[in-house]
């Protein structure tokens, strides 16, 4: 049984000497020899991973035996075992076996919902593919690990994932592309206070900088790695490697004293911890150093030491390979024997199961025959009873048949009546469609007539180059219209909102347009208040309101603009409609409110309209509008409102006139969405420039 308590006891430190390494392998072997039970089974992955780094072959074979021993299919145990097989297999070059087992580990970690181990396993899958120079797959699994680490906000594992990109680029010797990922890994590891990871990132940054001939940067990063190792980790194996890296850079820079200083320190540490691959690398670096400094005797001496130790390690690797092959053969032979025993046990179980099943089926057949006979007798009795009931029901059905025939005759009569009604409805519908078509043609003609009385754009552009009109009738024809005229060096602009909309509103527009022409062009009444007063009187007379007792009328906003020395005098009168104006000097939008009664209504009798005058500089703008814009609803049944329109005008008054129209129209559409238009909409904006009069 692999329990967490036993592994925590065995893990106790000092992983880097040959004697302690042997004790670790023995501890791992002892734990693997224990019987597997259903109690808290766990494999201390960190311990096993460190043992694998020192002796990957034995760890690989021992971990494979975990899966063989586990008869209870313990997910935690098997996931850990598959992970260690994959990790140690990567170290000994068994890449196909490593990949297969790491995939199995991920599958079990997913069932256990252990996201941290899924991330770690994806990282080592990326490393296996990097060693096989399949960088596309390597980066794919590194990306999976990174995305999952970000999702669980684990900074340490994010650093590990970024580190896999660095390793991938190192294997394809693209050192410049590795630098951003090294920096990201360092950033994440620094936030997580992962000293081991920080040291590793600094060392990789140093290696990449050295390969890119950025030697000052390489020295800086190696020294940072050295400081962290000495202060926090005391990892002598890694410290020896860092000293060798520093020595290599100083040798390239021809700073031979510094190079020799670090070479000597690296060799002493390697000899102290008795790690022969590190000693071999130090011998090679010293041979290279003495060759550069023209000390051929010492160079040859250390090169011989390097070759001797390399041959020794190579022979050990050969022996280890033979041992692994023998162990694999014995393992597979034992697996085959176990498989034969399992098949024999399975066959015996099948034989016992077949005999038992045959006896059970015979007993079951006797019971079925007994109950079948009883059921047959019961069914015979039921059948006789049902035959009697069927005869009685046939008599009832004959009677119902006669009733149904009578009902069919009545239904046929009703059908003929319905057909006759349908023909009448079809004829009526055709007549209504014809009438509707005639009405539509009349309305379209009325639209052309109404458009003819509106100011002609080509003519207005001659004296008003910068203005816009937003005109949206609710129906085909509108109850709103605008009136623009230039007369006697004055500019007149009116926006009229007649009672109702559609055809009724359009007729009122025709009357109001005719009366405005008569008041201003014939009578020469120019003051806005007097124009509205006369329009009030003329509407009451034209509609015979006193005799007919009707209250039809209109709301209006009327402006007269006169040119002064260096500015304009703008006079305004309004009936329930205000004036917005933008002063080009103050850059402010202000409002002038009209009177609170309508033209033509009963309560306007004997009332007079007020006039207000403002002085505006060139390039100022004024706006007139009916209530259709501000009264429009949105899907939540909220109206746009005058305050919001005032705010909108304040925001766009500095923009070009054409742009203002687009914004005003788009704002209304965005507010209205798919809500039906409530009323006719009319809004006029005019810029008063020096050449308009």
Q: Which residue shows structure tokens 């004790």? A: 23
Pick the closest to residue 582 from 539, 622, 610 (CA basis): 622
Residue-wise pLDDT for 643-663, tens only, equals 999 999 999 999 999 999 999
Q: What is the largest CA-CA distance in the chain?
A: 134
Distances (CA, A) of 245 to 126, 228, 543, 550, 641: 26, 16, 105, 104, 75
Cα separation of 569 and 588, whole Å? 17
Asked whether the beta carbons of 444 and 476 are under 8 A apart, the reply is yes
Q: Decide: helix, strand or coil at residue 17.
A: coil
Q: pLDDT category, 2, cuts 50, 70, 90? A: very low
State both tokens at 639: 């109206």
Q: Determine the average pLDDT of the residues in 429-455.
A: 63
Q: pLDDT category, 664, cuts 50, 70, 90? A: very high
Asked whether the beta carbons of 139 and 181 are under 8 A apart, the reply is no
Residue-wise pLDDT for 256-310, tens only, equals 999 999 999 999 998 888 878 788 888 888 999 999 999 989 889 988 988 988 8
Cα separation of 90 and 84, whole Å? 10
Q: How far is CA 257 from the centre of its chain?
A: 58
Pick the closest to residue 243 from 210, 274, 219 (CA basis): 219
Residue 312 main-chain phi, psi, to 5 deg: -65, -45
**Is residue 451 scored above 70 in pLDDT?**
no
State both tokens at 626: 């009916």
Cα separation of 147 and 133, whole Å? 23
Cα angle: 232, vertex 235, 241; to 5 degrees = 120
Cα separation of 461 and 468, whole Å? 10
Residue-wise pLDDT for 314-367, tens only, equals 676 455 544 445 445 454 556 556 666 767 777 777 788 887 888 888 888 888
List, in order, residues 6 or more apart from 11 with CB less than 8 Å away.
44, 46, 47
Instruction: Enter the pTM of the model.
Output: 0.45
User: Considering the chain, what percentage of its residues have pLDDT values greater than 70?
Assistant: 83
Pick the closest to residue 236 from 465, 550, 15, 500 (CA basis): 15
Asked whether the beta carbons of 66 and 77 are under 8 A apart, the reply is yes
**E strand or H helix at 309:** helix 296-453
Quote the pLDDT of residue 433.
Answer: 67
Pick the closest to residue 128 from 157, 158, 85 (CA basis): 85
Q: What are the helix (H) ranges across 579-656?
A: 642-652
Average pLDDT over the chain reads: 83
Question: Residue 502 half-sphere exposure, CB side, CA atoms within 13 Å?
Answer: 7
Q: Report which of residues 399 and 172 the model is more confident about.
A: 172
Highest mean pLDDT among 6-20, 26-40, 223-237, 386-400: 223-237
Quote the pLDDT of residue 410.
Answer: 78
Q: Determine the average pLDDT of the residues in 485-496.
A: 94
Beta strands in 302-461 (DSSP E): none
**Is residue 567 scored above 50 in pLDDT?**
yes
Cα separation of 148 and 190, whole Å? 19
Cα separation of 391 and 383, whole Å? 13
Quote the pLDDT of residue 261.
Answer: 95
**Is residue 98 scored above 50 in pLDDT?**
yes
State both tokens at 76: 């935690």
Quote the pLDDT of residue 18.
Answer: 38
**Is residue 676 scored above 90 in pLDDT?**
yes
Residue 408 main-chain phi, psi, to 5 deg: -60, -40
Quote the pLDDT of residue 504.
Answer: 75
Q: Decide: helix, strand or coil at residue 588.
A: strand
Quote the pLDDT of residue 71.
Answer: 55
For the chain, report the end-to-end CA distance as a whole number of angstroms. 103
Asked whether the beta carbons of 618 and 553 are under 8 A apart, the reply is no
State both tokens at 141: 């699994």
β-strands 567-575, 612-617 pairing: antiparallel
Distances (CA, A) of 568 to 67, 449, 581, 598: 97, 35, 13, 28
What is the secondary structure of 437-488 as a DSSP string? HHHHHHHHHHHHHHHHHSPPHHHHHHH-SSEEEEEE-SSSS-SEEEEEEEET
List, in order, residues 6 or more apart from 503 with CB less than 8 Å away.
443, 446, 475, 477
């Amino acid at each position: 049984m692999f329990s967490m308590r036993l592994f925590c006891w065995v893990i106790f430190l000092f992983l880097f000497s040959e004697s302690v390494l042997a004790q670790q392998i023995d501890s791992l072997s002892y734990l693997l020899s224990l019987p597997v039970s259903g109690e808290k089974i766990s494999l201390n992955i960190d311990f096993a991973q460190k043992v694998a780094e020192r002796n990957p072959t034995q760890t690989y074979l021992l971990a494979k035996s975990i899966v063989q021993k586990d008869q209870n299919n313990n997910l935690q145990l098997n996931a850990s075992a598959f992970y260690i097989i994959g990790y140690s297999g990567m170290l000994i070059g068994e890449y196909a076996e490593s990949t297969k087992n790491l995939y199995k580990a991920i599958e079990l970690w997913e069932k256990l919902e252990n996201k941290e181990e899924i991330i770690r396993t994806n990282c080592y899958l990326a490393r296996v593919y990097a060693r096989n120079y399949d960088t596309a797959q390597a980066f794919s699994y590194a990306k999976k690990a990174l995305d999952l680490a970000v999702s669980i906000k684990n900074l340490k594992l994010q650093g590990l994932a970024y580190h896999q990109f660095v390793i991938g680029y190192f294997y394809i010797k693209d050192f410049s592309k590795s630098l951003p990922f090294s920096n990201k890994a360092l950033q994440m590891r620094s936030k997580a206070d992962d000293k081991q990871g920080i040291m590793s990132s600094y060392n990789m940054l140093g290696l990449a900088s050295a390969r890119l001939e950025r030697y000052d940067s390489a020295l800086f990063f190696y020294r940072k790695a050295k400081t962290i190792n000495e202060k926090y980790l005391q990892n002598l194996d890694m410290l020896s490697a860092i000293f060798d890296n520093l020595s290599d850079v100083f040798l390239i820079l021809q700073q031979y004293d510094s190079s020799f200083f670090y070479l000597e320190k690296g060799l002493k540490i390697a000899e102290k911890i008795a790690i022969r691959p590190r000693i071999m690398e130090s011998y090679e670096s010293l041979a290279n150093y003495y060759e550069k400094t023209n000390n051929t005797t010492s160079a040859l001496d250390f090169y011989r030491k390097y070759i001797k130790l390399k041959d020794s390690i190579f022979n050990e690797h050969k022996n280890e390979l033979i041992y692994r092959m023998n162990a694999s053969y014995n393992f597979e032979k034992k697996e085959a024997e176990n498989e034969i025993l399992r098949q024999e046990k399975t066959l015996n179980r099948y034989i016992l199961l077949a005999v038992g099943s045959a006896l059970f089926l015979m007993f079951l057949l006797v019971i079925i025959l007994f109950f079948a006979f009883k059921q047959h007798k019961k069914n015979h009795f039921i059948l006789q009873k049902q035959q009697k009931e069927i005869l009685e029901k046939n008599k009832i059905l004959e009677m119902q048949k006669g009733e149904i025939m009578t009902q069919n005759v009545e239904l046929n009569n009703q059908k003929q009546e319905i057909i006759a009604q349908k023909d009448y409805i079809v004829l009526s519908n055709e007549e209504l469609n014809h009438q509707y078509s005639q009405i539509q043609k009349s309305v379209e003609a009325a639209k052309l007539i109404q458009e003819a009385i509106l100011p002609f754009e080509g003519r207005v552009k001659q004296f008003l180059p910068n203005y816009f009109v937003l005109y949206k009738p609710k129906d085909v024809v509108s109850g709103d219209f605008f009136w623009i005229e230039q007369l006697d060096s004055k500019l007149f602009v009116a926006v009229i909102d007649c009672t109702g909309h559609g055809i009724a509103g359009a007729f009122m527009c025709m009357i109001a347009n005719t009366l405005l022409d008569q008041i201003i062009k014939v009578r020469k009444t120019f003051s806005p208040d007097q124009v509205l007063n006369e329009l009030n009187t003329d509407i009451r007379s034209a509609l015979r309101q006193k005799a007919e007792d009707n209250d039809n009328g209109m709301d209006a906003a009327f402006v007269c603009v006169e040119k002064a020395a260096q500015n304009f005098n703008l006079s305004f009168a309004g009936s329930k409609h205000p004036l917005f104006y933008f002063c080009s000097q103050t850059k402010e939008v202000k409002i002038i409110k009209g009177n609170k009664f309508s033209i033509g209504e009963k309560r306007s009798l004997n009332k007079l309209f007020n006039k207000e005058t403002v002085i505006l500089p060139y390039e100022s703008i004024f706006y007139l509008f009916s209530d259709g814009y501000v009264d429009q609803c949105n899907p939540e049944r909220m109206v746009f409102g005058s305050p919001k329109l005032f705010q909108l005008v304040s925001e766009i008054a500095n923009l070009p006139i054409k742009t203002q129209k687009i914004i005003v129209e788009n704002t209304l559409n965005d507010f209205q969405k798919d809500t039906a238009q409530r009323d006719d909409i009319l809004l006029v904006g005019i810029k008063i420039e020096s050449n308009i009069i």
